[in-house]
Chain A
Amino acid sequence: MVEQGSYTLEQAIANLQQTEHLGDRYYAAWWLGKFRVTDPAAIDALLDALNDDLDRSPDGGYPLRRNAARALGKLEDPRIVPALLHCLHCPDYYVREAAAQSLELQGNPVAIPALLTFLAGGVAAAVPTPDKPHLVQPYEAILEALGTLGATVAIPEIQPFLEHPVAKVQLAAARALYQLTEAPEYGDRLIAGLAAPQLPLRRSALIDLGATHYLPAAAAIAQTPAENSLKLIALKGLLENHLTRQAQDTLHLTEESEQVMALMDSLL
């Protein structure tokens, strides 16, 4: 879908290329990703936006670069992965985080060595940034990307992060290790996260389980005290990951698939 109301592709590209109205540029970058445009001119404009120096936040960040990096993750072009790899060295934490998440979406294992360098120094180096609400690097996004990209080479580096003091980082490590090893202990670690006393942690565990095919989690997901919308998204992820791993004939529904759908029905 490219048309949305009166806003057009041409307008989005023009808005992204102009430099007078920063808000219009920010919105245009989001819009181009949201509607998954394929026009090379749109990709050109987004790649240019990754180097923008005009849009600066009070803390020195680069808001337009963040949005452009997020948008590019959803698009297809051979220039995207190299540009995102470059963004991993941006001084803005949130640009680095967006780049890692988008590299995960791109699904290209060529990103693995660059992502793996962020785990050098292990848990000891993964400390908070002074006066900021985040760690020195976007560890959650990096661990999740390594898991999705199938970086089995990273397993020894990921394992210590199960003991990181930040609970969400532990969950990200468990999710990646489950994807890389399929060992139930890591899936169970995520299920345990569903019982966390804090709602934001339960939400994280739901999203993490939705990135796996760990079917024993389905009933626990349905019973977690959290929004039904999020539980439905998690179960949909679980179901789709299960279906894509089956034999080519996805028309054949296993008993497990039907159980997941019955749980989804109960949450509507």
Chain B
Amino acid sequence: MTALNSLIAAIDAAPSAVGLITAVRQLAAARDPEAIPKLIEILGYNNPGAAVAAVEGLVALGPVAVPFLLANLDGYDYGARAWANRALAQIGDPRALENLLAAAQGDFALSVRRAAAKGLGFLDWSALPPADQEAGQKQAFGALQVALGDEEWVVRYGAIAGLQGLAQQQPQWRDPVRQLLGDRLPCEPELAIQARLHWAIQSLNP
């Protein structure tokens, strides 16, 4: 048995929820692209500790994991979909743009919308041809504008974090983002979200 196969076998044979987390951490630490399908499978185990370790492993592998994540987004298990979107958000590869745009605005699961909203603000635009960067950022801004009015506070929170990330990374978005966040402030009902709006606006002030 190869080293990778024995790491995978240890996951399948894990005797307990805690044992599973340890086994997933070991597989993630192998940093082996061959482990990607198994790490994605673990996102659907309904074990938050194991999923956190699997996401960390996928993020550490980086862009090589993106095609697998996009091809295996689980249409039925929204928990798994949320973890996958979290991994895509942290990797920041703009090949995930279409998926993140749709997820942030339209997924029925709030955990998916919140992860995607934040991810839209942290894409590595330099990976796109210059001609596509501006159009992509416009789409991201538009989707984040929608998410900023989401009925769930945590999605609005994710949208603020995403907008702040976009503006800090791409200075040409600083003024439109500051304007948008300032307009949201008077209609935001939740105290914590008001605080997050203030924090973002302060960080973008000249």
Chain A contact residues, CB within 8 Å of chain B: 197, 199, 225-229, 232-233, 236, 239-240, 243-244, 250-251, 253, 257-258, 261, 264-265, 268
Which residues of A are found within 8 Å of B153, using beta-carbon distances?
A: 236
Query: Is residue B199 within 8 Å, beta carbon to beta carbon, of the partner chain?
Result: yes
Q: Is the CB of B48 within 8 A of A240?
A: no
By Cβ-Cβ distance, the 9 closest A-B pairs, closest first, are: A225-B49, A268-B118, A236-B192, A240-B191, A268-B158, A239-B192, A265-B161, A240-B192, A227-B48
Which residues of B are found within 8 Å of A226, using beta-carbon distances?
A: 48
Q: Is the CB of A243 within 8 A of B191?
A: yes
Q: Is the CB of B48 within 8 A of A261?
A: no
Interface majority SS (helix, strand, loop, mixed), chain A: helix
**Considering only CB atoms, which chain B residue lies closest to A227 in the complex?**
B48
- In the bound complex, CA of A247 to CA of B111 (Å): 33
Produce 1/0 per residue, B81-106, CB < 8 A to A: 00000100100000000000000000
Which residues of B are found within 8 Å of A264, using beta-carbon distances?
A: 157, 196
Taking A239-B195, A244-B191, A253-B202 as given, write out 16 further A-B residue pairs in contact, using a Cβ cutoff of 8 Å, ordered by the A residue number. A197-B18, A226-B48, A228-B86, A228-B111, A229-B111, A232-B154, A232-B157, A236-B192, A240-B192, A243-B192, A251-B198, A253-B198, A253-B199, A264-B196, A265-B118, A268-B89
- In the bound complex, CA of A227 to CA of B79 (Å): 10
**Considering only CB atoms, which chain B residue lies closest to A236 in the complex?**
B192
Interface size on B, residues (CB 8 A): 28
Which residues of B are found within 8 Å of A258, using beta-carbon distances?
A: 199
Distance (whole angstroms) from the CB of B178 to the closest CB of chain A: 16
Q: Is the CB of A253 within 8 A of B158?
A: no
Q: Is the CB of B114 within 8 A of A268?
A: yes
Q: Is the CB of A225 within 8 A of B21?
A: yes
- In the bound complex, CA of A258 to CA of B161 (Å): 13
Q: Is the CB of B195 within 8 A of A225?
A: no
- In the bound complex, CA of A251 to CA of B198 (Å): 7
Query: Is residue B137 within 8 Å, beta carbon to beta carbon, of the partner chain?
Result: no
Distance (whole angstroms) from the CB of B119 to the closest CB of chain A: 9
Q: Is the CB of B199 within 8 A of A261?
A: yes
- In the bound complex, CA of A223 to CA of B13 (Å): 26
- In the bound complex, CA of A261 to CA of B52 (Å): 20
Q: Which of B111, B114, B158, B195 contacts A243 (CB 8 A)?
A: B195
Query: Is residue B166 within 8 Å, beta carbon to beta carbon, of the partner chain?
Result: no
**Considering only CB atoms, which chain A residue lies closest to B83 in the complex?**
A228
